[in-house]
Amino acid sequence: MTVAHDVKDLELATGGRYRIDWAGQEMNVLKQISERFAEEKPLSGVRLSACLHVTTETANLMKTLQAGGADVVLTASNPLSTQDDVAASLVVHDEIPVYGIKGEGKETFYKHIHAALDHKPHITMDDGADLVSTIHKDRQEALDEIIGGTEETTTGVIRLRAMANDGALRFPVIAVNDSATKHLFDNRYGTGQSTLDGIIRATNILLAGRTVVVAGYGWCSRGIAMRAAGLGGNVVVTEVNPLRALEAVMDGYRVMPMMEAAKIGDIFVTATGDINVIDEPHFALMKDGAIVCNSGHFNVEINLDALAAMAGGPPNLVRPYVEEYKLGGRSVYVLGEGRLINLAAAEGHPASVMDMSFANQAMAAEYLMRNVEKLQTQVYTIPEEVDMEIARLKLLGMGIRIDNLSDEQEAYLNQWREGT
Ligand code: ADE
């Protein structure tokens, strides 16, 4: 009998399995964790509900958690990011209930979140805190069973810290995003590459010589700026944080307010985590043909309602993921409905980088189980030694060896008398 699911088409399962295995070849750290989990079964008897992007990389994480003994259910963390063949394969080949269909509406998205909570999880695994926030708002009965949660992304961690500061958070959550082996790699190199991949797949435009405006200069935006510059773009950064703005300047980018950048940009990419970063006054100044997209978690960074109002109606779909808003004599093009362009028009971050993010997720679930008694209702970071172990395993998998401190060097670092 097939497990419960709401996916596009189970016939897609075979293709999905090939792609999941292909990604798995790049996920060496996760593979090693999976082998250990299969022996030690640290998640035995644990019901785990995950709300993540349904991708080939996530599928490998789900299989790892299952190998560790968890009873896993997966729901989509974004209406446009689901890879339908992957969803089908997890249902058919791994008996994992999956709820996610690429292009699903908001109502279906939340129906799916509730279906994942019907699983009565002991652990929640979020990318954007949708499970946690739904539990706290609408499904408080779920709190009885929950031991803790994990959170993948910057936006989710910001939401969780706001809940903790308000005294609203009711169970411990591990902020996977805070691990160095997550944000320094996934956010920077993963978002950098996959965002440019999404823009190029959606538009097929040449970036060389174009002015690319990157909103924000956090780890994700840094990656985007770096890769846009690598493809020959003239990068402009907008920021509100003086320290980050200064870093952007010294990294060699022009920095200016969005009202100025709006006039000169050819391509705009937001990754700030905040709302209405590109708004009506900016659209009013944009050049004919300007392209606007988002790589931040939620579709709130570009004010599309304002743009639709300015255009006096809905946009024209000129090619998949490219919508044209006509503003008098000018056109502004929005990619991927203002949702994560890297997952809407491309496949998200490559497996090699998700390997470390999802190694953190698997280790975080294990950590929650091993420390149930000790943990308070707080937002935690994974212990540094776990983070370091993930880095060590990643290097090992890449065949890269590094030096070790000699006893003499170790002793030197631990003393304070010796100087010049
Ligand atoms: N977030 C960004 N890229 C991703 C991927 N490939 N899989 C899951 N979550 C992601």
Q: Is the CB of 57 under 6 A from ligand 1?
A: yes
**How many CB atoms within 10 Å of residue 209?**
9
How sure is the predictor about 420, in pLDDT bands with cuts at 50, 70 and 90? confident
Based on the domain organization, do 98 and 247 belong to the same domain?
A: no
Q: For residue 366, report the phi and psi dihedrals to the nearest 5 degrees.
A: -65, -45
Burial class of residue 240 (count of CB atoms within 10 Å of its CB; 0-12, 13-18, 19+)? middle
With respect to residue 411, please indicate whether it lies within any of the assigned structural domains.
Answer: no
Mutate to test the pocket of ligand 1, among 130, 297, 354, 361 (most ligand atoms within 8 A of CB): 354
C-alpha to C-alpha distance for 294 and 338, rounded to whole angstroms: 5
Mean local confidence (pLDDT), 380-407: 96
pLDDT tens-digit profile of 32-58? 999 999 999 999 999 999 999 999 999
352 in contact with ligand 1, CB cutoff 6 A: no
Tell me which of 22, 194, 295, 340 to substitute to probe ligand 1's pocket, judged by most ligand atoms within 8 Å of the beta carbon: 194
Residue 334 lies in a domain: yes
**Total residues belonging to the chain:** 420
Q: Provide mean pLDDT across the span 160-188.
A: 96
Report whether 154 contacts 296 (CB < 8 A): no
CA angle 140, 42, 372 (to 5 degrees): 45
When the pLDDT of each residue in the chain is averaged and rounded to a whole number, the result is: 97
Residue 288 lies in a domain: yes
Q: Return the pLDDT at 114.
A: 98
For residue 137, what pLDDT band results from cuts at 50, 70 and 90?
very high
Helices (H), 126-270: 130-138, 154-165, 180-182, 191-203, 219-230, 242-250, 258-264
147 and 225 assigned to the same domain: no
What whole-number percentage of the chain has pLDDT above 70? 100
Whether 83 contacts 16, CB under 8 Å: yes
Q: Which atom of ligand 1 is nearest to the CA of 349?
A: 3
Half-sphere exposure (Cβ direction) of 231: Cα atoms closer than 13 Å: 20
Tell me if 55 CB under 6 Å of ligand 1.
yes
Q: Is residue 286 part of a domain?
A: yes
Antiparallel, parallel or unpaired: β 330-335 and 322-327: antiparallel
Q: Are residues 140 and 16 in the same domain?
A: yes
H or E segment and range at residue 150: strand 148-151
Looking at the predicted structure, is the pLDDT value of residue 369 above 90? Answer: yes
pLDDT value for 345: 97
- Closest-lying ligand 1 atom to the alpha carbon of residue 153: 1
Name the band, by pLDDT with cuts 50, 70 and 90, for residue 81.
Answer: very high
CA distances from 79 to 188, 332, 369 (A): 23, 23, 30
Beta carbon of 151 within 6 Å of any ligand 1 atom: no
Number of domains making up the chain: 2
Same domain, yes or no: 220 and 325: yes
DSSP 247-273: HHHHTT-EE--HHHHHHH-SEEEE-SS
Dump pLDDT digits (tens) for 233-270: 999 999 999 999 999 999 999 999 999 999 999 999 99
As a whole-number percent, the residues of the chain with pLDDT over 90 amount to 98
Distance between CA atoms of residues 172 and 98, nearest Å: 25
| 374-384 CB burial, b ≥16 within 10 A, e <16 | ebeeebbbbee
pLDDT, position 1: 86
Query: CB-based burial of residue 27 (10 Å sphere; 0-12 exposed, 13-18 middle, 19+ buried)?
Result: buried
pTM, whole model, 2 decimals? 0.96
Query: What is the tens place of the pLDDT at every residue in 96-125?
Result: 999 999 999 999 999 999 999 999 999 999
149 shares a domain with 50 = yes
Q: What is the reported pLDDT for 376?
A: 94
DSSP state of 202: H
CATH at 327: 3.40.50.720
Which domain, by its residues, includes 325?
Answer: 189-344
pLDDT tens-place string over residues 199-215:
999 999 999 999 999 99
- pLDDT, mean of residues 264-281: 98
Q: How far is the CA of 287 from the centre of ligand 1 (A)?
A: 32
- Whether 158 and 212 map to the same domain: the answer is no
Q: Does residue 417 belong to any structural domain of this protein?
A: no
Cβ(354) – ligand 1 distance below 6 Å: yes
Judge if 259 and 310 occupy the same domain.
yes
- Asked if pLDDT for residue 419 goes beyond 90, the answer is no
Q: Which atom of ligand 1 is nearest to the CA of 351?
A: 6
Q: Is residue 200 part of a domain?
A: yes
What pLDDT, on a 0 to 100 scale, did the predictor assign at position 417? 87
